[in-house]
């Protein structure tokens, strides 16, 4: 009887192998590989597309994004043309060309992590996974999609902060770089950020991550309470 029970127990343990293959990668393994991959990248550029939805409607934005170590990001929008989101790791500038105005936000990257944009930098990535619980979106990973093979992580905010409560992060199964983020807020706002044409050989000067206020641009200090 005991031998039969042992055989059944072993069979139950083997079932996941046959159902899901022999890849026993844990979500924490993927996160560690993501951190290792980002730590080796000094800078990179990529095309981006953003689709945001709220009760008022849907908005689509496109452009080029640039990243560098220590929380440096630069989103240069071609749609709407002229808009920019820039951070040197200590400050973030959000420039709206149609308003001829820029919001200047002081950042504490030890606590930051609300910004979906910061998740695509090494520092932001660390803080995102400090602020969110995470698991695989489905048991069988990685997942084959039309655009590639991804580990899909589902994130849930640990403590409500007024930002995004839930996210899905699509991690390339070969490079462990983020290609797509889907985010939801408690207020019904959603945002999808997708990166493509990623270039890891880009050497970007530091002055590309500073916004220079010129002419009669209106400056608003620390306008951002959440993202």
CA angle, residues 91, 112, 84, in degrees to nearest 5: 40
Interacting residues of 20 by C-beta distance below 8 A, sequence separation 6+: 139, 140
pLDDT on residue 109: 44
d(CA 227, CA 222): 13
Span 162-179, pLDDT tens digits: 788 999 999 999 999 999
- 81 closest CA partner among 67, 95, 68, 92: 95
Is residue 81 within 8 Å of 72, Cβ to Cβ? no
Would you say residue 6 has pLDDT above 80?
no
pLDDT on residue 151: 97
d(CA 24, CA 27): 10
pLDDT on residue 118: 63
Span 85-137, pLDDT tens digits: 999 988 889 999 999 999 998 876 444 445 666 666 677 787 888 889 999 99
Q: Is the dihedral of CA 44, 49, 55, 57 positive or negative?
A: positive
Q: Is the dihedral of CA 23, 27, 28, 33 positive or negative?
A: positive
**Strand ranges, E, within 1-120:** 43-54, 57-68, 72-79, 81-88, 91-96, 101-106
For residue 19, CA distances in Å to 5, 28, 143 come to 22, 21, 14
Q: For the chain, what are the domain ranges? A: 24-221
Cis amide leading into 223 (omega within 30): no
Which CATH number is 24-221 given? 2.50.20.10
pLDDT on residue 111: 47
- 3 state DSSP class of 139: coil
Would you say residue 37 has pLDDT above 50?
yes
Span 179-218, pLDDT tens digits: 999 999 888 899 999 999 999 988 899 999 999 998 899 9
Q: Residue 222: pLDDT band by 50, 70, 90 thresholds?
A: confident
Is residue 79 within 8 Å of 63, Cβ to Cβ? yes
Q: Both tokens of residue 27?
A: 């979500």
């Amino acid at each position: 009887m005991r031998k039969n029970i042992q055989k059944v127990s072993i069979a139950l343990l083997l079932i996941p192998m046959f159902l899901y293959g022999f890849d026993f990668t844990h979500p924490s393994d993927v996160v560690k590989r993501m951190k290792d991959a980002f730590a080796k990248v000094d800078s990179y550029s990529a095309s981006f597309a953003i689709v945001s939805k709220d009760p008022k409607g849907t908005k689509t934005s496109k452009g080029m994004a640039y990243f560098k170590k220590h929380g440096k990001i630069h989103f240069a929008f071609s749609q709407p043309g002229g808009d920019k989101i820039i951070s040197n790791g200590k400050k973030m500038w959000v420039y709206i060309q149609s308003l001829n105005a820029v919001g200047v936000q002081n950042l504490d990257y030890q606590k930051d992590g609300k910004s979906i944009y910061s998740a695509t930098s090494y520092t932001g990535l660390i803080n995102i996974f400090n602020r969110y619980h995470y698991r695989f979106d489905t048991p069988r990973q990685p997942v084959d999609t039309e655009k590639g093979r991804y580990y899909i992580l589902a994130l849930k905010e640990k403590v409500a902060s007024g930002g995004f409560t839930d996210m899905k992060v699509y991690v390339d199964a070969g490079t462990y770089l983020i290609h797509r983020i889907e985010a939801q807020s408690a207020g019904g706002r959603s945002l999808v950020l997708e990166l493509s044409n990623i270039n890891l050989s880009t050497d970007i000067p530091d002055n590309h991550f500073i916004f220079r206020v010129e002419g009669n641009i209106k400056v608003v200090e620390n306008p951002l309470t959440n993202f």
